[in-house]
């Protein structure tokens, strides 16, 4: 009789072993028991770099314009293919800067922070800024708890390799993006959602209008809508599961969040703006992206993060996530 394999546990299948999670090293003279900086250090780390963030927003849109403009100027199919892939990366940049705005860390002026977060970063990416903020704060209040908005995304890892392949194939072939788009359309039934959908629609009509004004109406479906529904979905899943896939509910953030050694290639494509220092972000979500590596270094210096806890690369973590 053939033995039946037990399914992977719902959560916790990817938590690092006990030797990677040393106890009794916190608090220190610089960090509190949970890893947050003490008040004097925290005030310094929480300073919002408004000017630098303004440059980051402008640079992101400049890269979008250059990617699309270069494809049009060159006119070769390979140039359009390159722009298509780069747009996935550009959506990652929009999303992470929108995430900073949701945390009120983009600009110290609250109204400016939220206006840029909505109109310049979130609406172009089909994201309802205020709904995202509420859901994301629920994520931070109790990672992988009953109110976790992305509970299903992080569950049952490690999964079989063919299951991972199916998920990424659905992402790449517009299936996941199509479901997201259907959800947006269906939300029109709810009166509270309609004002956001109208504002989002205004942004996308304007983006479509740019292509029409240039005599190339197909630029919007080809180099905006299609990359969002495919390349971006692949990148977003790979980033998300590398943050929390297979972790478990705990007060110890090392059990809820992975840390991966950062490389320039990963930071270019899927984890821009230091979002790869995700453990530090969950230790103190009030620290802007510019200081996350510094907070991580403090956690290492305290002995709370040790080499055995760190994944050496995203590739190694993705392989382990698909080794069920």
pLDDT digits 0-9 by tens, 4-33? 445 567 889 999 999 999 999 999 999 999
What are the angstrom distances between the C-alpha of 71 and each of 79, 82, 125?
Answer: 5, 8, 21
CA 123 and chain centroid, separation: 16
User: Domains in the chain: how many in total?
Assistant: 1
Give residue-wise pLDDT tens across range 115-133.
999 999 999 999 999 999 9
Residue 59 inside a domain? The answer is: yes
Backbone angles phi, psi at 303, to 5 degrees: 85, 10
Residue 282 inside a domain? The answer is: yes
Give residue-wise pLDDT tens across range 241-299.
999 999 999 999 999 999 999 999 999 999 999 999 999 999 999 999 999 999 999 99
CB 205 within 8 A of CB 58: no
Q: Which neighbouring-strand residues pair with 31?
A: 37
Give residue-wise pLDDT tens across range 149-193.
999 999 999 999 999 999 999 999 999 999 999 999 999 999 999
Give the list of residues 6+ apart from residue 122 with CB closer than 8 angstroms, or none.
94, 98, 101, 128, 129, 132
**Quick check: bond before 183 cis, omega within 30?**
no
Residue 11 inside a domain? The answer is: no
Residue 5 inside a domain? The answer is: no
CA-CA distance, 36 to 298, in Å (whole number)?
10
Residue 3 inside a domain? The answer is: no
pLDDT attached to residue 7: 55
Does 2 score more than 70 pLDDT?
A: no
Residue 256 inside a domain? The answer is: yes
Residue 100 tokens, joined = 């900073």
pLDDT attached to residue 324: 84
Residue 194 inside a domain? The answer is: yes
pLDDT attached to residue 8: 62
User: What is the extent of the structural domain holding 157?
Assistant: 18-321
Residue 6 inside a domain? The answer is: no
Banded model confidence at residue 3, pLDDT cuts 50, 70, 90? very low
């Amino acid at each position: 009789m053939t033995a039946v394999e037990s399914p992977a546990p719902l959560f916790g299948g990817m938590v690092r072993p006990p030797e990677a999670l040393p106890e009794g090293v916190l608090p220190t003279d610089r960090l509190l028991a949970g890893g947050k900086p003490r008040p004097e250090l925290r005030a310094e780390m929480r300073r919002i770099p408004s000017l630098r963030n303004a440059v980051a927003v402008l640079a992101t849109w400049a890269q979008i314009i250059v990617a699309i403009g270069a494809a049009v100027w060159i006119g070769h199919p390979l140039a359009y293919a390159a722009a298509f892939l780069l747009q996935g990366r550009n959506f990652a940049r929009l999303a992470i800067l929108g995430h900073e705005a949701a945390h009120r860390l983009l600009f110290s002026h609250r109204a400016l922070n939220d206006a840029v977060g909505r109109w310049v970063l979130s609406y172009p990416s089909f994201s309802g800024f205020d709904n995202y903020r509420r859901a994301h704060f629920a994520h931070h209040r109790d990672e992988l708890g009953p109110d976790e908005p992305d509970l299903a995304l992080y569950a049952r890892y490690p999964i079989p390799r063919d299951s991972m392949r199916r998920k990424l194939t659905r992402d790449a072939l517009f299936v996941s993006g199509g479901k997201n788009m259907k959800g947006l359309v269906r939300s029109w039934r709810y009166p509270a959602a309609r004002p956001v959908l109208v504002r989002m629609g205004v942004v996308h009509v304007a983006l479509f209008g740019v292509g029409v004004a240039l005599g190339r109406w197909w630029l919007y479906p080809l180099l905006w809508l299609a990359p969002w529904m495919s390349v971006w979905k692949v990148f977003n899943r790979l980033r998300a599961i590398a943050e929390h896939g297979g972790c478990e509910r705990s007060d110890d953030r090392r059990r809820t969040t992975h840390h991966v050694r950062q490389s320039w290639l990963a930071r270019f494509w899927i984890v821009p703006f230091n979002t790869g220092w995700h453990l530090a972000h969950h230790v103190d979500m009030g620290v802007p992206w510019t200081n996350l590596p510094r907070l991580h270094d403090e956690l290492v210096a305290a002995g709370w993060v040790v080499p055995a806890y760190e994944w050496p690369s995203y590739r190694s973590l993705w392989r382990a996530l698909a080794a069920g």
